[in-house]
Amino acid sequence: MHPVQQKQLSMKSGQPEQGSSGASSGQIMIVGGGIAGLALANALQRGGRQVTIYERSAVHEERGAGIVLAANALKVLEKLGLAGQVRASGAAVRSAEIRSWDGKPVMRLPVHEQADRYGTYSYLIHRAELHRILLKGLEPGTIRLDKRFLHYQEGPDAVTASFAGGEQAEGALLVGADGIHSKVRSQLAGDPPLRYSGYTARRGIAHFRDSRYPVELGGGFEAWGPGKRFGFSHLGNDRIFWFAAINAPQGLQAAPEGRKAETLRHFRGWCEPIEAVVESTPEEAVLAHDIFDMKPLPYCSAGRVVLLGDAAHPMLPNLGQGGAQALEDAWVLADLLLALPGNLPAALAEYEHRRRARTAKVAERSRRMARMVQLEHPAALYARNSLLRLLPSQMSIKALDWLLGYEV
């Protein structure tokens, strides 16, 4: 048996480790200052726990573009006391439709009925704004910048994290919230390989107005074509967040100065206002990423180390749940650590019990959705679109109960 797995089993006996009672209520170290790490620190500090975030960047800023926060994400933000700020800074999704590449309607999503059913609209917000809100909720000095994590070492009463430059820090628990290329996961789980999705993404934010998509409605549309799709959504303040997903071999990225022209080439002749919104985007604001996920890990904690967010379960973005699952992870882990301050093994065992099956299901459904929305063959596209046009709206609402109706 792998020594990490052996340690994991011993920690899940439900009994505290020798010396764990005092240490488990001490300092908690979080590696990574993204959504997962910031949300966990907010939740733990609300419960009176000592938390330090170690972020590798020298300046805490989040690039990227828009992120959608569905009802399950808003529930966590409500518990953190931050949902009001998110709603004020973002844009409610009050309209959403799917079209074919040439503009023909495929289906209109029942966003108002979903809002009634789950208690809130989804909101789209700039990632930088979400980070600012989460960071503002923390006590001064919580986050330490320019700290590149190298490895950890466990003792009977504490775990020690080592950083570039020779610095070390000690705590009761080390949380790996360091994203899809997690260094903490690499040591804990043996560096499992990432899986390429089969498509690459382009994203951008533009100041753009179109009378056909009034800002007060929010939301927008997705257009689906052979092996490609394009999304257009209001972000607030006359900004549009757009994304493009393009089937392609891994690693075929255009240089930064060529991304805008490449995107326009792929979507030339598609329905309006796709070309216009890409044209209005500054060249430097067009981002490019190959998209990956990973097979579910057999475990996401061992001893005094635990993973959450993309470090634990990177998933494809097709259900818009990457951020939401990170928020759920953070709240559940914090809730258990606060409820079981003297029994770290039991808290981590229950965290795995509550989260692993759910996140694995979301990741699997996201990959299944990718296969459906990135179809290339014309006959397959025709069959898919015809089926979606016949789908009753009530069926599509109830099909999301397991996802959006989840209670942390």
Q: In what side-by-side order are the strands of the sheet with 28-31? A: 143-144, 51-54, 28-31, 173-176, 305-307, 301-302
Whole-number percent of the chain with pLDDT over 90: 84
Whole-angstrom Cα distance, residue 126 to residue 9? 41
Length of the chain: 408
The residues facing 149 across adjacent strands are: 163
Q: What is the pLDDT along the chain (408 residues), one digit of tens a residue?
A: 333 333 333 333 333 333 333 343 589 999 999 999 999 999 999 999 999 999 999 987 767 789 999 999 999 999 999 999 999 999 999 999 999 999 999 999 999 999 999 999 999 999 999 999 999 999 999 999 999 999 999 999 999 999 999 999 999 999 999 999 999 999 999 989 999 999 999 999 999 998 888 888 889 999 999 999 999 999 988 899 999 999 999 988 778 789 999 999 999 999 999 999 999 999 999 999 999 999 999 999 999 999 999 999 999 999 999 999 999 999 999 999 999 998 999 999 999 999 999 999 999 999 999 999 999 999 999 999 999 999 887 777 888 999 999 999
3-class SS of residue 236: strand
- Are the C-beta atoms of residues 177 and 213 closer than 8 Å to each other? no
Q: Is the bond into 273 cis (omega within 30 degrees of 0)?
A: yes
For residue 366, give every residue at least 6 positions away whose Cβ sits within 8 Å of its Cβ, in sequence order, or none: 293, 315, 316, 317, 318, 319, 321
pLDDT 10s digits, 144-163: 999 999 999 999 999 999 99
Token digits of residue 69: 């926060």
- Are the C-beta atoms of residues 36 and 330 closer than 8 Å to each other? yes
Q: What is the DSSP string of 45-78?
A: HHTT--EEEE-SSSS------EEEE-HHHHHHHH
- Computed on alpha carbons and rounded to an integer, the radius of gyration of the chain in Å comes to 22
pLDDT of residue 62: 67
Q: Is the pTM of this model over 0.85?
A: yes
Token digits of residue 233: 């959504």
Token digits of residue 367: 């990959």
pLDDT of residue 215: 83
Token digits of residue 92: 């409610």
Torsion of CA 365, 230, 285, 121, to 10 degrees: -60
User: Which stretches of 24-148 are assigned E, i.e. beta strand?
Assistant: 28-31, 51-54, 66-69, 91-92, 96-100, 105-108, 123-126, 143-144
Q: Report in angstroms the alpha-carbon separations of 142 from 37, 126, 138, 330.
A: 11, 23, 7, 16
Token digits of residue 91: 């844009």
